[in-house]
């Protein structure tokens, strides 16, 4: 899951609604992620954010340890 904007609904609210912790950052390839973010999507069979165009894009993620 990559968050491209400030989604305050993911922040800590209460112990019963702890939110989600950030655990990494993009160090290169941000322009690729921005291209993915503008893909047209729709709801399909109760699933949100299903790409309208069913092309498959293959990419590799690398994790860098500090």
Residue 6: the pLDDT is: 82
Separation of alpha carbons 65 and 43, rounded Å: 37
CA distance 15 to 13: 7
Which residues of the chain fall short of a pLDDT of 50? none
pLDDT value at position 42?
92
pTM tops 0.75: no
**For residue 26, what pLDDT is reported?**
83
CA distance 63 to 27: 10
pLDDT at position 51, please? 86
């Amino acid at each position: 899951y990559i968050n491209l904007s400030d989604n305050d609904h993911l922040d800590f609210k209460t112990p019963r609604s702890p939110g989600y912790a950030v655990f990494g950052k993009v160090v290169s390839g941000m322009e690729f992620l921005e291209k993915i973010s503008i893909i047209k999507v729709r709801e399909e069979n109760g699933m949100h954010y299903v790409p309208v165009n069913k092309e498959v894009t293959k990419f590799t993620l690398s994790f860098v340890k500090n």
